[in-house]
A and B are shown apart, each in its own frame.
Chain A
Amino acid sequence: METAVFYVLATIAVASAVLLVLFRNPVYSALSLVATLFAVAGLFVLLNAYFLAAVQIIVYAGAVMVLFLFVIMLLNLGHSEALESTVGRYRLTGVIFLCALLVAQLTAVGTRQLRGPVAENEALRTENVQTLGKLLYTDFLFPFEVASIILLVALIGVVVLVKRETPETT
């Protein structure tokens, strides 16, 4: 059962990721990225990461992708963009690099040790949110604070970059 669900979700994720790259219209690309994100969220559930699955859907598929779609539509980028001309300068390097990367990853990742059974962590499965919350406010307190500063800086940065100065608009 779990294996079947895994393969269905994996197929959806890969297919919509390929479509993301192939679609000419950025709106379609964005929507297929949403499909990938949902499939990955499903895989998170299979991996016992329930909290992250929820965050993935709420923050990523919800907030972030809506932001993407909003900007695409605001800037009226929905018209098609020629793919033929796009595969340009980096094509050869890119393809060689990618093949090397993929082969390296598959050999590295397909090793025997990782096919074996997984370590059971009962707390992580049954009390996922509690476990993460405790870690976040104890061991990972410092990174947590740093992340808050990153978000603050991003917030200020967005204002700096796009806020119109009042004298100009009048």
Chain B
Amino acid sequence: MFEIDWNILLPSLVVAGLVLVVLCVDIIRPDNKGGVSGYLSLLGVGVAIWVSLSLWGRSPTHGLGGMLFLDNYALFFNLIILAGTGLTIFVSTGFLEREEGGRSEYYLLILAATLGMMLMAAGADLIVIFLGIELMSIALYILVGFFRRRTDSNEGSMKYLLLGAFATGFLLYGIALVYGSTGTTNLREIELAVAQGRVYTHPMLLGGVALLIVGFAFKVSAVPFHMWAPDVYQGAPTAITGFMSAGPKAAAFAAFFRVMVASLGDLSGDWSGAIWMLAALTMTVGNLGALSQRNIKRMLAYSSVAHAGYVLVALVAANERGIAGGVFYLLAYAFMNIGAFAVIVALGRKGDENLEISGYAGVGFRHPGIGLAMTLFMVSLAGLPPTAGFFGKFQIFSAAVEAGYIWLTVIGVLNSLVSVYFYLGVVVSMYMRQPVGQAHAVSMTPFARVALLTASLGTLYIGLAPTSLLQMARQTVSALL
């Protein structure tokens, strides 16, 4: 038997307990339509954030039979994931009421997905990372299809499931080959085996790494494995789309970075070329795809593909500054993207979600607050100062230059310039186009206002005073390098 170090388990245990509590509340009060569970979930997410913060800065350990890590890296990702979850719950309360889809299972599934993501960030063994991915994915398949009477929701869910399960097959085959060639699935032991040359067959290990990259590339929606993203983002309930683009993406990158840099870092000469291609393609296809979109959810889907490309640049660089920059960028991205989706939710009405970008004409005058917030998020996504997006991108690109990847940086910067066009297109539509038709009242619940305000302040704060958060991001790096 082994001793259980409860500290390692604590953050995930809080969320797992929360899942069970919400489940019990659903059973006791089935008529609450998710009201009580929503508040409870928020409370629990707050507790989990507090627990993660209180564990910050301890010397890194691992436990539970070498299955979980407790280090700053995992804790920082816990913060990103939990912030995304918390904001999504804030956005969801009014959204569910409006769409009359309020059922208490909604929050339970969001929390289960959150637990899966936290395990992906903290997993010290490929089996835990695999189970985390599956827990997150299964919960997300269901959430995407949550509005089961809407065909686009159903079909998005089906497409996501088929492609997600397909990707899981590749990921598993990759794990199998890595296991076969190193004799272990434990990340630290893989690292040792590679470092000491205790590898059965080198070609097979490389085959396994290639398949792992394919599997992870699916999960972070990197080109050419991105084809699910636009349809699924469009079909999913809007609040869930925001959720999916922040937490799950961050968690997939957390596992991706840890596996590639910490365990397979010695092979970086073999894989960094592949990631280079992946990053360049992802940025370019994502931004070019977004240019031609009229539907704002599809536009943001392609934008999220493009942003995955920027973070992949950080993985190519794989130096201290790059990893810190990537981690920091994922935090900034969570705030600005969920903020943008909160605006989309706020501007929709029951039965008419108002998703065409042209439908945003005149919003800037009719609803000055919302217009201002949306402008902030778009500017940040485009990567213009003084916002979070600018600072994050600056970190990543300067790391790439530092590591000598000049061409990749040039591609990235050119892509950022292209992206300014379509992000500011939304702003232009809001402020400079004559609105068609009548103005509609926008009713935001207090919760949605809090979400919008938090996301805006977060985006501004990360952009204007990044030092302390960047310091935290730097402290995570030692877990990998």
Contact A157 B141 (CB under 8 A): yes
A104 to chain B, nearest CB (A): 6
A126 to chain B, nearest CB (A): 22
Residues of B within 8 A of A105 (CB): 207
Contact A156 B105 (CB under 8 A): yes
Residues of B within 8 A of A142 (CB): 64-65, 67-68, 128
In chain A, positions 133-170 with a C-beta closer than 8 Å to chain B are 138-143, 146-147, 149-150, 153-154, 156-157, 159-162
Q: Does B135 contact A (CB under 8 A)?
A: yes
- Tell me which of A14-22, A51-59, A62-70, A108-116 binds B: A108-116
Contact B142 A138 (CB under 8 A): no
A111 touches which of B68, B119, B203 (Cβ 8 Å): B203
Bound-state Cα–Cα, A49 to B119, Å: 29
Contact A111 B128 (CB under 8 A): no
What are the interface flags for B132-168 relative to A under an 8 Å C-beta threshold, 1 for contact and 0 otherwise? 1011001101100110100000000000000000000
Bound-state Cα–Cα, A146 to B125, Å: 13
CB within 8 Å: A-B pair count: 85
Contact A138 B64 (CB under 8 A): no
Bound-state Cα–Cα, A139 to B65, Å: 5
Bound-state Cα–Cα, A154 to B207, Å: 32
Bound-state Cα–Cα, A140 to B124, Å: 12
CB-CB under 8 A for A150 and B135, given A104-B207, A138-B1, A141-B64: yes
Q: Does A3 contact B (CB under 8 A)?
A: no
Q: Does A107 contact B (CB under 8 A)?
A: yes
Bound-state Cα–Cα, A141 to B9, Å: 13
Chain A residues bordering chain B, tally (CB within 8 A): 26
Q: Does B19 contact A (CB under 8 A)?
A: yes
Bound-state Cα–Cα, A156 to B20, Å: 12
How many residues of B sit at the interface, in one of the four size bands?
Answer: 35 or more
B128 touches which of A113, A143, A153 (Cβ 8 Å): A143
- Tell me which of B44-52, B86-94, B108-116, B324-332 binds A: B108-116
Contact B203 A108 (CB under 8 A): yes
Which of B125, B135, B180 has most chain A Cβ within 10 Å? B135
Q: Does B177 contact A (CB under 8 A)?
A: yes
Q: Does B357 contact A (CB under 8 A)?
A: no
Residues of A within 8 A of B288 (CB): none
In chain B, positions 203-231 with a C-beta closer than 8 Å to chain A are 203-204, 206-207, 210
Which of A149, A153, A156 has most chain B Cβ within 10 Å? A153
A107 nearest in chain B by CB position: B203
B201 touches which of A114, A146, A154 (Cβ 8 Å): A114
Q: Chain A binding site: helix, strand, loop or mixed by DSSP? A: helix
B204 touches which of A111, A140, A150, A154 (Cβ 8 Å): A111
B177 nearest in chain A by CB position: A108
A143 touches which of B67, B108, B148 (Cβ 8 Å): B67
Bound-state Cα–Cα, A157 to B108, Å: 10
Q: Does B103 contact A (CB under 8 A)?
A: yes
What are the interface flags for B192-204 relative to A under an 8 Å C-beta threshold, 1 for contact and 0 otherwise? 0000000011011
In chain B, positions 20-35 with a C-beta closer than 8 Å to chain A are 23
A35 to chain B, nearest CB (A): 20
Contact A153 B138 (CB under 8 A): yes
Residues of A within 8 A of B6 (CB): none
Contact B139 A157 (CB under 8 A): yes
A149 touches which of B16, B68, B180 (Cβ 8 Å): B16
Residues of B within 8 A of A161 (CB): 142, 145, 148
Bound-state Cα–Cα, A170 to B172, Å: 46
Q: Does B53 contact A (CB under 8 A)?
A: no
B351 to chain A, nearest CB (A): 18
Residues of B within 8 A of A150 (CB): 131, 134-135, 138
Bound-state Cα–Cα, A146 to B115, Å: 9
Residues of B within 8 A of A143 (CB): 67, 125, 127-128, 131
Contact B135 A140 (CB under 8 A): no
Residues of B within 8 A of A140 (CB): 65, 67, 127
Contact B131 A157 (CB under 8 A): no
The 6 closest A-B pairs by CB, nearest first: A157-B142, A108-B207, A108-B204, A139-B65, A111-B201, A108-B203
Given contacts A142-B68, A149-B19, 6 further A-B contacts (CB under 8 A): A138-B2, A138-B65, A142-B128, A156-B23, A160-B146, A161-B145
10 A–B contact pairs at CB < 8 A? Answer: A138-B1, A140-B127, A142-B64, A142-B68, A143-B128, A146-B132, A149-B19, A153-B138, A157-B139, A157-B142
